Structures are given as C-alpha cells and as structure tokens.
C-alpha cells in the first residue's frame, strides 16, 4: 500500500485559508500473475563451438514457450527449427554427418552405384528436402502441452492414460519406418551400415539426413558393394550408442521383438506395449533408449506407469522428454535416493522415495511460471510428505521463488544421464 499526501485548500468570505493534509490510499500495482516467456541468446545457451561451423550457423535469437527453448539452425542442407536444446544439438551434429556422407558419395566407391540407383529410386523421402532453402519445421512440437492439464497433477498416471488425456493432439514426426522392398533388397541394412560410419541414427527424423542415407544406400546395393568402410563419427551424433548400437546392428523388427520382451518382463500390458512401439513419434532407436532407461530403474515398483505415460507422447520432443526424464530418475537412484514406487505427476514422471518425498523428474530446458505449472504444483499429492523437483535445465527466478514458497525442494542442472 502506498500513502500519498496532497494539499487541500478551503477558502471563502471571512474565512482564512486552511491547508490540510488528506490521506489518499493508492492500491499497489498488481504483480503479473504469470510470466511472459523470455527470448534468449544462443551464445548464452549453447557452447561456442556449436554456434557456427563450416556448414551451419545458429540464429542468435532463441525463443521460449515457457517450458522449452526453440532454436533455428541455418545450414547448407536446409534450415532446422528445433524445439529443445537436445534436438538443436542433435541437428547441429547431423549437419556434420550429412557433409561427411556427401563427401563419401563423391568417391569412386559409389560412382557406378549412383548411376544405377538413379534409374530405380522412388521419389518419396528424398523429396522432403530438395534445396538448401527448405525448412524442417519442428515448431509447435515442443513441450508446452505437458502442463496444459495441470489440475490433473495429483491423479494416478494409469487413470490419466486410460482416460485418453495423455495421448493424441500432436502432429507426428517424419515417418522413418522402412518398407518391405528395401528390406528384401538389403537397402535398409545398407542404410544402417552407412549411418554407423558417421555415428548417426539410421531412424533420425531429420529428412535431410534420411535423404543422404537413402541415396547412398541405394547406390551401395545397386553397385553390389559389400565391403566395410569407415568415415569417422561426427562429434555429437553418436547418441545412438546409448542403445548399445542395436539400431545399427538389428533390423527394426528385431528391435521391436527385443523391446516387447523387455516390456513384458516389466509387467506392461499388451495395450501399453503396442501404443509405445506403434507410436509414430518413437523411432525404433528412441523406443529402445526408453526401454533401456526404464530397465535401468531395476525392480522399481510401478515401472509400467512410466511406460504408459511415455506412450502418450504427442511429438518427438515429448518422446525425448520422457526418455530423458526416466534417465533422470535413474540418476537420482544412482546417487543414493531410494525410489520406492513410480507414478505420474500430471503428464510428468515421478517416484515416491523411501522418506516419503515425491521426486518429480522434468527434462526441460527452461521452466517459467505459467498457469499450468501453478496448477500442477498446487495440486495435493496424497501420501507424499514432501515434494522435490529435479530438472535438467533451469528455472526462471520467479518459478524458483514460487516453487520454494510452496515447499518444493529444487535441483536444477541435474545430470541428464
């Protein structure tokens, strides 16, 4: 409250001037209830070597949707709009991989095969990016929707999934599934082999990378080449190795069978398994990484709940969010936190610890104070004596203050894996 003094003059015939002090109560300016997502600079978020390379440059302005960051990467092979730091780093590394693959394709090894493969190649995935001005848009495919249903934060994840609230509503990523003809001809095996040579994911949603992998794989098969070759992994692309290289070594049907067996062993029901493995936003590689991350939690009670929530991912950014959030729970476990039972916290993942703390794992870049976040953190959690939030990124100053005021223990910048 602010008190203002102002002079009041009262005058009239036969009356002397009287000056009195009048009190005026000025109400305080109402604080903005929620934050406007900030705009950041790429140099403040990414390491210097990632900002510019021989084939790419990251736009200086980095937008935020209140949960994640949105990067624009302009490259020789197209412009990529990535709705998370992880996807931005991956796209930057894939630019280097594409450059390596183009150089490989110029060699004598592929020369004759290129001529033969052009005669029979199908104009499908290869037409997704035809010129360096093309843009691979991933805008609108970020994480903001994770907190759209904050009022349901205290509900059990199983109920949330069964109600259908955790699924649908987002555009799928690029379909990187393989076709039967290419499988028979050996093109798919060649694609995995070529991807391995540069450490890239053969099922990446990057159409420019897929275009180059398919072009070289067609040439490799058309030319009858079977010899091994190596280009050298591009730094940053070998994230696929966290799935033990299985995406390079096994055809997708074998990966699926392996993942089905693992999920059944965890107690997941048939519907959950099918929703995850049939999901257009979980590539064979990403699904394998998620399954392995859940396995790393050992015999934690309630693991199927985590898988069920992940199966409701609506875009690739959300799929990666769930995979990384599971890994974050595994980090907490590895650091000595005793996790007793997995559960959902709205659409986020959490676990009750031995001392009764609800540990919420959130793999996001920047979390600001939004309506959905407020509703989530204010929802009661029966059985929890305390609540903790671990996130891989950072909280805004306002979000940090609001969370602590509501009794949350907060850990920022937690190790991603």
* Residue linked to tokens 């609001």: 402
Query: CA 17, CA 130: separation in Å to the nearest integer?
Result: 85
Do 72 and 81 contact (CB within 8 A), yes or no? yes
pLDDT of the residue at 106? 82
What pLDDT, on the 0 to 100 scale, is given for residue 333? 94
Bridge partners of 70, per DSSP, are 63
Q: How far apart are CA 342 and CA 359, in angstroms?
A: 9
Strands (E), 128-285: 135-137
Q: How far apart are CA 85 and CA 324, in angstroms?
A: 12
The pLDDT value given to residue 24: 37
- How many C-beta atoms surround the C-beta of residue 271 within 10 A? 12
| Cα 83 to Cα 318: distance, rounded to the nearest angstrom | 10
Model pLDDT, residue 243: 65
According to DSSP, the β-strands at 61-64 and 40-41 are antiparallel
pLDDT at residue number 183: 61
Give the angle subtended at the CA of 286 by the CAs of 140 and 220, to the nearest 5°.
Answer: 105
Q: Which two tokens stand for residue 350?
A: 């959490």
Distance CA 132, CA 78 (A): 4
Q: What is the pLDDT along the chain (417 residues), one digit of tens a residue?
A: 443 434 333 344 444 433 333 333 334 434 578 999 999 999 999 999 999 999 999 999 999 988 889 999 999 999 999 999 999 999 999 999 999 999 888 876 666 555 454 444 444 334 434 444 455 555 446 787 787 654 444 344 444 444 334 333 344 444 455 566 566 567 888 899 999 988 899 999 999 999 999 999 988 887 666 545 555 555 554 444 556 588 888 999 999 999 999 999 999 999 999 999 999 999 999 999 999 999 999 989 999 999 999 999 999 999 999 999 999 999 999 999 999 999 999 899 999 999 999 999 999 999 999 998 999 888 888 889 999 999 999 999 999 999 999 999 999 998 766
Hey, what are 121's tokens? 């190649």
Whole-model pTM: value is 0.81
Taking Cα atoms as reference points, which of 121, 119, 127 lies closest to residue 217? 121
Q: Which tens digits make up the pLDDT trace of 41-94? A: 999 999 999 999 999 999 999 999 888 899 999 999 999 999 999 999 999 999
Instruction: Return the structure tokens found at 190.
Output: 């060649």
* Dihedral of the alpha carbons of 283, 285, 287, 288, in degrees to the nearest 10: 160
Q: Give the closest residue to 94 by CA, choosing from 144, 138, 62.
A: 138
């Amino acid at each position: 409250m602010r008190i203002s003094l102002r002079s009041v003059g009262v005058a009239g015939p036969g009356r002397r001037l009287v000056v009195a002090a009048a009190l005026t109560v000025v109400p305080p300016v109402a604080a903005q209830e929620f934050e406007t997502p900030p705009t950041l600079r790429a140099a403040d978020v990414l390491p210097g070597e990632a900002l510019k390379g021989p084939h790419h440059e990251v736009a200086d302005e980095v937008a935020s949707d209140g949960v994640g960051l949105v990067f624009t990467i302009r490259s020789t092979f197209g412009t990529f709009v990535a709705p998370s730091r992880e996807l931005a780093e991956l796209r930057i590394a894939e630019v280097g991989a594409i450059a390596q693959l183009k150089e490989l394709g110029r060699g004598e090894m592929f020369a004759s095969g290129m001529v033969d493969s052009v005669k029979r190649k199908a104009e499908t995935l290869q037409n997704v990016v035809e010129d360096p001005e093309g843009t691979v848009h991933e805008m609108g495919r970020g994480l903001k929707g994770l907190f759209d249903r904050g009022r349901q934060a205290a509900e059990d994840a199983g109920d949330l999934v069964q109600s259908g609230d955790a699924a649908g509503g987002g555009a799928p990523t690029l379909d990187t599934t393989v076709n039967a003809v290419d499988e028979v001809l050996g093109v798919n095996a060649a694609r995995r082999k070529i991807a391995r040579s540069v450490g890239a994911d053969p099922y990446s949603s990057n159409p420019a990378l897929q275009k180059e992998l398919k072009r070289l794989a067609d040439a490799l098969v058309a030319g009858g080449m079977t010899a091994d070759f190596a280009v050298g992994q591009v730094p940053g692309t070998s994230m696929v190795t966290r799935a033990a290289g299985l995406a390079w070594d096994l055809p997708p049907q074998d990966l699926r069978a392996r993942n089905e067996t693992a999920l059944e062993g965890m107690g997941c029901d048939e519907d959950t398994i099918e929703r995850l493995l049939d999901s257009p936003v979980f590539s064979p590689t990403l699904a394998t990484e998620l399954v392995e991350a859940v396995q790393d939690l050992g015999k934690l009670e309630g693991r199927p709940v985590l898988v069920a929530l992940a199966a409701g991912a609506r875009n690739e950014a959300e799929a990666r969010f769930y995979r990384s959030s599971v890994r974050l729970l595994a980090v907490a476990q590895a650091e000595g936190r005793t996790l007793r039972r997995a559960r959902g916290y709205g659409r986020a993942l959490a676990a009750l610890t031995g001392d009764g703390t609800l540990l919420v794992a959130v793999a996001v870049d920047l979390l600001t104070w939004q309506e959905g976040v407020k509703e989530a953190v204010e929802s009661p959690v029966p059985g929890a004596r305390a609540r903790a939030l671990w996130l891989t990124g950072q909280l805004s100053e306002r979000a940090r203050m609001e969370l602590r005021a509501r009794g949350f223990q907060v850990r920022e910048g937690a190790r991603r894996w």
